[in-house]
Amino acid sequence: MIAKLASAALVAMTLATNAAHAQSVDLSKIKCKEFIELPKETAAAITMWLDGYFTDEEDPAVVDFDKLKAMAEKLGSFCVQNPRMGLIGAAESVMVK
């Protein structure tokens, strides 16, 4: 729970600082094609949020930046191969343990 809250707070802060982009993002509607076209900072923030979303409450509240980078690369590669797939489904394929 704490990991999810921390991830959500970080995403909110990152997205709030980037006024050129939308103020909110409905991840249930984003396709992989849109995700891979996002600015790197926005994609990183979304990846962090997704990591928190798919983390179990029992998992330790640790942010592993190397793991996040690897997950972002896997998700990006998966999305390049599946541009019409929804981002949440793609992330589930790549990020769920």
Segments making up each domain of the chain, as ranges: 2-18+28-95
Can you read off the two tokens belonging to residue 73? 């690369």
Q: What is the pTM of this model?
A: 0.72
The overall longest dimension of the chain from CA atoms, in Å, is: 37
Note the pLDDT of residue 81.
97
CATH dotted code for 2-18+28-95? 1.10.890
Percent above pLDDT 70 for the chain: 76
Mark out the alpha helices in the chain (DSSP H runs): 2-17, 32-36, 40-53, 65-81, 87-95
Note the pLDDT of residue 17.
47
pLDDT at 15 over 50: no
In whole angstroms, what is the distance from residue 94 CA to residue 75 CA? 6
CA 19 to chain centre: 19
pLDDT at 67 over 70: yes
CA 95 to chain centre: 10
Residue 9: CB atoms within 10 Å: 12
In whole angstroms, what is the distance from residue 32 CA to residue 30 CA? 7
Note the pLDDT of residue 96.
82
Note the pLDDT of residue 60.
87
pLDDT at 43 over 60: yes
